[in-house]
Amino acid sequence: MIPKTLIRLLKLLRPSERATLVALWGMVIASAILELAGMGLVFVYIRAVSTDGGGRAFELFVSVVGQSSYVGFALVMGVLVVGFYLGKNVLHIVTDSLLMRFVFGLYEKYSALMFDTYLGADYQEHLRRGTVELRRNLTAESAATFNEFFVAALRAASDALIIVTISVLLFVVSWPLTVGAIILFGSSTVLYTVFARRRGARLDQERREHVFGMSRWLSQSMSGFKEIRLLRRKAFFLGRFGAELKQHSRASRKARTLEQLPRAINETLLAAGVMGAVTYFVLAGGGLAAALPVLALFGVASMRTISALSRLMGCWHSLRVHAGSVHKTCDEFERFHGRGAHLSARYDSIKKDGRYSSPANPIADIEVKCVGFAYDPTIRNSDASAEDRRPALVDVSLRVPSKSFVGFVGSSGSGKSTLVNLITGLLTPTSGSICVGGRDIRDFLPEWQSSLGVVQQAPYMASETIKANVAIGIAEEEVDESRVWWALERARLAQFVRGLPAGLRTNMREEAAAFSGGERQRVAIARALYADPRVLIFDEATSALDNETEKEVLDSVLEFAGEKTILSVAHRLSTMQRCDTVFVLHEGRLLASGRFLELLETCEPFKRMVELGQIGSSGPSSLKR
């Protein structure tokens, strides 16, 4: 039901905003009253100028002005009517502008708030839902809720009020014609609503599904561009995208046609109504001269009413079509912020600067205490097997000494990356805790995360300059360029950047061909170093580098040994051999820990991984002791 949907949306507003909406609605009522007065002026004007002697209006004019010029009377009356309509329409435009500012302000607040919410959501939320759905919620669904449904609701109420007030005036002037017009236009409106209701809702659902489908195939084809081109599978993706596009166009075409029906119907009925009114007065024997003021009033009123009625029918269609988006938007808001939360109140809470300072005390030992973790079963892309549903980690306990260099190894699905994500605070343990200096990281998570520098296996690169990618998320005027060069030097990339024509201002998207995979990885390493973090985490960060470059990067990283805590998930022997401690994980459990050579002697599974090449070699001498 539309009223229930609207009430649910209004509950997102706090009391002060509802009061603002009531005040704006007062302006709408004033505009409707002026609309009624304007119609009355037209009736008085036509009646005065068409009556012999001008009637009472002319007598009033003579008594006020002191002149008996009939032409002057007609001109003054005409100017007054036009001036009144001008003022009325100015008020209408101002009212509509204020309403749109109010509604679009809510849209901006909601989109900004949910964007902030998604960025701050649990990491599993991103694994569970994917970027396509989140993007649709932030753009299409929120826009449909506020810019379409809410606007349609306000305009429908405004047009309905105008239709009612005009109908009251027409009923007073000539109730038979008014009743006939109400029956004629009311029945057409009801029939259209019944016809369009389910069809419009179905077309909207089809459009939304096919927009999602187009986004999905577009995202997949762009992400797998290289493989698709080399395997020559372009036709497959083009066909799937084209099929979704065709169905979306078909549904959109039918929806637009459905939206145009009210205008055609109402114009036809208007012509029929005019003919019927003329016939009524002829049959009544009053003559057209006597009927002229009434016909003029009904003519002007019909133009205004038909316009309002057409919009009302279109708005009703829009309300039916976009009701699903309202429920999706409200569900999403309540999911993260709870029932009864007010949109603006939550929005105000995110306008403060979101930066956090590092803890005042030096980073102490990292302790993993009896940690267990299981992914949500709806998530497929995780360390948890979709077949056996076993936990990703089971009762893992370990200690990472402050300022040490430790490594995590294990076969695929052993829980290495999951453990790192738990240490960074992206995931929350199902059981147990992760502490730093005796404090659970959940007690000071923003400060803890601000002290980390993380490099992923496939790092994100923004379509920005090298400078912006290294100092990502920092306004250009606040970037310390000397610090950027320092980070590039440590990542062994400064010489390469100096050789580029635009240097730090080289756009990594426009000059994508100039960057190898290893060079992109080193940009990510420089990004991690830029803020001078206290803990460095490398999740397969050197996997894309050649042996010589990897050695250079590792040498630069080891410069921080003794200054920073360094955690590394790696498959290369050269990395593991340099660790103070290596932790071996297997099927979510901590199997053993120790130095590399110790583990070769004491841990048979680790030795087998080395022999089978599950820990890759970086050179022929890697196994030399």
From the list 75, 82, 83, 58, the residue with the least C-alpha distance to 300 is: 82
Domain 364-451+536-548+559-618 superfamily per CATH:
P-loop containing nucleotide triphosphate hydrolases (3.40.50.300)
Which two tokens mark 74?
Answer: 């007609």
At residue 591's C-alpha, the angle toward residues 620 and 613, to 5°, is 25
Report how far residue 494's alpha carbon sits from residue 362's, in angstroms, rounded to the nearest whole number: 30
According to CATH, the superfamily of the domain at 2-209+255-346 is ABC transporter type 1, transmembrane domain (1.20.1560.10)
Residue 27 belongs to what H/E stretch? helix 15-50
Mean pLDDT of 24-48: 83
pLDDT at 114: 84
Q: How many helices (H) and strands (E) does the chain have?
A: 22, 10
Please report the pLDDT score of residue 356 as a whole number: 42
- The CATH 1.20.1560.10 portion of the chain extends over 2-209+255-346
Under a CB-based contact definition with an 8 Å cutoff, are residues 420 and 539 in contact? yes
Residue 572 carries which DSSP code? B
Those residues whose C-beta lies under 8 Å from the C-beta of residue 19, and which sit 6 or more positions away, are none
If you average pLDDT over residues 314-328, what whole number do you get?
83
Per-residue pLDDT band for 371 (boundaries 50, 70, 90) equals: very high
Q: In the chain, helix, strand, coil percent, each to 5?
A: 65, 10, 25
Residue 432 pLDDT exceeds 90:
yes
pLDDT tens digit sequence for 593-610: 999 889 988 988 888 888
Asked if residues 540 and 459 have their Cβ atoms less than 8 Å apart, the reply is no
CA distances from 97 to 90, 104, 111, 151, 304 (A): 10, 10, 21, 11, 20
Provide the angle, in degrees to the nearest 10, between the axes of the packed helices 175-223 and 151-173: 170
Round to whole Å and give the CA distance between 113 and 119. 10
In 10 A of CB 481, how many CB atoms?
Answer: 12
pTM of the model: 0.65
Any alpha helices (H) in 151-233, and if so which ranges? Answer: 151-173, 175-223, 225-231
Rounded average pLDDT over 432-453: 89
Give yes or no for residue 385 having a pLDDT over 50: no
Compute φ and ψ for 389, nearest 5 degrees.
Answer: 55, 25
Buried b (16+ CB within 10 A) or exposed e, 575-596: bbbbbebbbbbbbbebbbbbeb
CATH class of domain segment(s) 460-533: alpha beta
The model's pLDDT over 71-123, given as tens digits with 9 standing for 90+, comes to 777 787 788 888 988 998 899 899 989 999 999 888 888 888 888 888 777 78
- Predicted confidence at residue 395, as pLDDT, reads 93
pLDDT in tens, 118-144: 877 778 877 777 677 777 788 888 888
Q: Is the pLDDT of residue 241 over 80?
A: yes
Average pLDDT over the chain, rounded to an integer: 80
Q: Write out the two tokens for 302.
A: 């019909």
Could you tell me where in the chain the CATH 3.40.50.300 domains are found? 364-451+536-548+559-618, 460-533
d(CA 469, CA 561): 25
Six token digits for residue 483:
């610090």
Instruction: Please tell me the distance from the alpha carbon of residue 52 to that of residue 392, in angstroms, as a whole number.
Output: 96
Query: Which pLDDT belongs to residue 430?
Result: 92
